[in-house]
Amino acid sequence: MSREPFFERKTSIAFKTEEKTVLRGYNLSDLAEEGYSFCDAIFVLFQGRIPAEAEEQMLSYEMGSFLEHSMSPSAGSAIAVTAGRPNLPTAVAAGVMTFGGVHGPGAAHGYMMNKYIGRAQREGKSLDEMAKILVDDYMDAEMPVMGMGQPQHRDGDPRAEPIHLKQEELETHGVYHEFQRAVEKHFHARRKREGKAYVGVNVVGAGNAALSDLGFAPNAAWCVGSVSRGYSCAVHAIFAMKKGRAWAASSAEPMVQMLDLSMIKYIGPEDRKVPSQEERAEYAAAQKESGDYKKWVI
Amino acid sequence: MGDLMDEKVKDKKVIGNLGDPGLPYDYSNRPYGTEPLDSKRAPFQWVSEVAYKNRYRIVTRGYDTTELMEQGYGLTDVLFINFQSRIPSIEENQMLNYVMILALEDGLSMPAMLSRIVASSKTFLTQACGTSILAFGHAYGAYSAFGNRQLEALEKAEADGQSLQEAAEALVAAKLDDEALGVSSLMLKDPAAKRMFARAEKLGVAGKHIAFTQAIVKAAQAASDTPVDVDMLGATGATMMDLGFTPEAIWSVIAVTRSYGAGAHFIEEVEREGYSRTGQHLTPESLYDGPAERPVPSLKDRDKLAKPAKITSPDEWKVAMEARKKLYGSGYSIVEEIHDPSKKTGTHSHGKKL
């Protein structure tokens, strides 16, 4: 069998020969034999370095916190995909791919922090001053401040503040932690001034600050977070696959199923007659002319 | 939703074949509108035995996840809890870390390549990571097939009173060259797979699956004309089964673990190679071995040239099937075994080439 790569790329991540697999210069088998943890290896993968013990502990805390979040868009996707009974990886992949602009927007939050910390450096402002500018920029523009708020944990994400505290306990807190804390302070103060309800920090705000202080670039941090969720998406998918009904629509189940016909609430155009081909030209022209269809275009 | 029924009754004209008496019901009088809410059964809820959350807690298998972290448990501990509903021993946790380090990266193999290809079209990183998971099919990442086959063979051996070695020999006799055996020529020079078994034994977590895989290795080495040994599939699959993970759990844990590596490949691809545009990449004619270039016939000659696919007898079918195999990309050279995948996935081979 051919052992040539599918296509060639210059890479500084890893190489593999018949004798060994080497990640950033370290033989993977030797790394495992030496007793390093999987989280240590994540540092080697993304940063090419062995982390300090406290850094490894912080990453394990962060990844362990993020792994399971019960019914969130990612788990929902994985469960829905299993209804058609594809191969299991399809459901797991769908779960990971659910992480977009509003579900664990790790990279965007990281880039936001880098942008404003960079401005503080260039403009000679303190992190606290720049955090206020960030909050005002976003709130003046009526945009949500990334890292704040979670629709299910309305009184504050239960994982978020403990992550901040663990960072402080392990002394891995740096410029990102300080900046994120300042963002939260100014965010809370402005909402209070404006008579708005309390909105707590979420796991992206706290977790991404922690990951950034551990040296992970925005996309690397996003990968660490969203891929960790992939494990629990797999558990939810396997549960649905092994103990649930395929199609998720059976009327024989004692509980109405996710895709039961009665779950459909239709709010589209009223029922209408299908025009014959003889009627088509006149019908289509009139329909386009009236423009009523435009309110349904998405 | 509007009531077209009265109009329909007046308009007796039947559309197409929709008046055919063979239809299961009267298509002209089908009701419009959605089904009413079902009040006789319990309303839909997300039923789970894995996890729940409320405003203040996230709980997996009964354990609050924040409390787990504060007690000093970590990522790999949560994997045991999530998949197996139990706290692992320290040695089991060490072994899982060992296995996952070896699964993290594999150079420019399929998951990395898929991630890089997706990256080059300018997507979110998560799309590339998800795509890399799709690389784990029944050949590249045959953990489900490997594990389920082991479980079936061990069950049969127990029922038939076979020894482990006899069961291994029977499995090898049937599946020596199968990609899911866990024994191949891939790790003859790389000691990583054998070291994994040695570490499992040292940590006291090796069990019947490692023993069975070692018996399979012995049987395969006796049966094969060429050198073979345990490969990463066999080492990883057997070790994780001895850690209590099901074949499906192993399949997904390893695929997700590699997805971190795929994320690094996504980043490097964007950093070093940039993006690809629609229509940018050419396929040289030298790579093409399909029909020679030929003029497109005019539409008026279509009936003279077209050969309909319709077959009217089994003999014609046999001839057509053989002829159609000659066109790569038609799909006729692939036969898949049909089975009910509703409870297990991956216990049979898919996409078997004739």
Residue A275 neighbours by CB distance under 10 Å = 13
Q: What mean pLDDT is predicted for residues A119-127?
A: 97
Residue B10 lies in a domain: yes
What are the tokens at B7?
């109009």
Residue A11: burial class (beta carbons within 10 Å; 0-12, 13-18, 19+): middle
What is the Cα–Cα distance from B236 to A235, expressed in whole angstroms?
19
Residue B149: burial class (beta carbons within 10 Å; 0-12, 13-18, 19+): buried
What is the Cα–Cα distance from A97 to A107, expressed in whole angstroms?
14
Residue B352 pLDDT exceeds 50: no
Sign of CA dihedral A190, A195, A196, A198: positive
Instruction: Please identify, among B238, B254, B277, the residue that sits at the C-terminal boundary of a domain.
Output: B277
Residue B353 pLDDT exceeds 50: no
The three-point CA angle A70-A73-A79 to 5° equals: 70
SS3 state of residue A287: helix
- The least confident of A131-140, B56-65, B323-332 is B323-332
What are the tokens at B98?
């060992």
Backbone region of residue B331 per phi and psi (left: phi > 0; alpha: psi in -120 to 50; beta: other values): left
Residue B91 pLDDT exceeds 50: yes
Residue A101 pLDDT exceeds 80: no
Residue B315 lies in a domain: no
Residue B313 lies in a domain: no
pLDDT confidence of residue A154: 87
Host domain of residue B253: 89-277
pLDDT confidence of residue A276: 93
Q: What mean pLDDT is predicted for residues A87-107?
A: 88
Residue A72 lies in a domain: yes
Residue A36 contacts residue A51 (beta carbons within 8 Å)? no
pLDDT confidence of residue A4: 86
- A96 CB neighbours in chain B (<8 A) are 126, 129-130, 133, 256, 259
pLDDT confidence of residue A155: 87
pLDDT over 90, % of chain A: 91
Q: Give Cβ neighbours of residue B182 (< 8 Å, ≥ 6 apart).
A: B146, B213, B216, B230, B231, B233, B234, B235, B237, B238
pLDDT confidence of residue B3: 58
* Residue of A7, A38, A89 lying closest to B75 (CB–CB): A38
Residue B317 pLDDT exceeds 80: yes
What are the tokens at B220?
């395969």
Residue B312 pLDDT exceeds 80: yes
If you ran DSSP here, which 8-state letter would residue B195 be given? H
The band of A2, judged by pLDDT with boundaries at 50, 70 and 90, is confident
Residue A80 neighbours by CB distance under 10 Å = 17
Mean pLDDT for chain B overall: 91
Residue B93 lies in a domain: yes
Query: Considering only residues 58 to 117 of chain B, which have any Cβ-Cβ distance to chain A shorter than 8 Å?
Result: 58-60, 65-66, 68-70, 73-79, 82-83, 94, 96-102, 104-110, 113, 116
Instruction: Please identify, among B88, B114, B145, the residue that sits at the C-terminal boundary of a domain.
Output: B88
Distance from CA of A55 to the nearest CA of B (A): 13
Residue A42 lies in a domain: no
Residue B57: burial class (beta carbons within 10 Å; 0-12, 13-18, 19+): middle
What is the Cα–Cα distance from A199 to A148, expressed in whole angstroms?
7
B82 and B192 belong to one structural domain: no
Q: What are phi and psi of A26, to 5 degrees?
A: -100, 130
Residue B164 lies in a domain: yes
What is the tens place of the pLDDT at every residue in A11-49? 999 999 999 999 999 999 999 999 999 999 999 999 999
Considering its fold, how many domains does chain A have in total?
A: 1
Residue B197 lies in a domain: yes
Residue A249 contacts residue A257 (beta carbons within 8 Å)? yes
* Residue of B1, B126, B264 lying closest to A97 (CB–CB): B126
What is the Cα–Cα distance from A226 to A218, expressed in whole angstroms?
12
Host domain of residue A76: 53-249
User: Is the CB of A153 inside 8 Å of chain B's CB atoms?
Assistant: yes
Give A147-205 as a 3 state SS string. CECCCCCCCCCCCHHHHHHHHHHHCCCCHHHHHHHHHHHHHHHHHHHCCCCCCCECHHH
What is the tens place of the pLDDT at every residue in A147-193? 999 999 988 899 999 999 999 999 999 999 999 999 999 999 999 99
B34 and B106 belong to one structural domain: no
The three-point CA angle A295-A297-B3 to 5° equals: 65
Considering its fold, how many domains does chain B have in total?
A: 2
What is the domain-level CATH number for residue A105? 1.10.230.10
Question: Position of tokens 């941090």?
Answer: A221
Residue A148 lies in a domain: yes
B253 and B189 belong to one structural domain: yes
Distance from CA of A207 to the nearest CA of B (A): 13
Distance from CA of A32 to the nearest CA of B (A): 5
Q: Give Cβ neighbours of residue A76 (< 8 Å, ≥ 6 apart).
A: A98, B46
The band of B335, judged by pLDDT with boundaries at 50, 70 and 90, is confident
Q: Give Cβ neighbours of residue B36 (< 8 Å, ≥ 6 apart).
A: A262
- CB-based contact A13 B55, cutoff 8 Å: no
Residue A42 neighbours by CB distance under 10 Å = 31
Instruction: Please identify, among B43, B69, B88, the residue that sits at the C-terminal boundary of a domain.
Output: B88
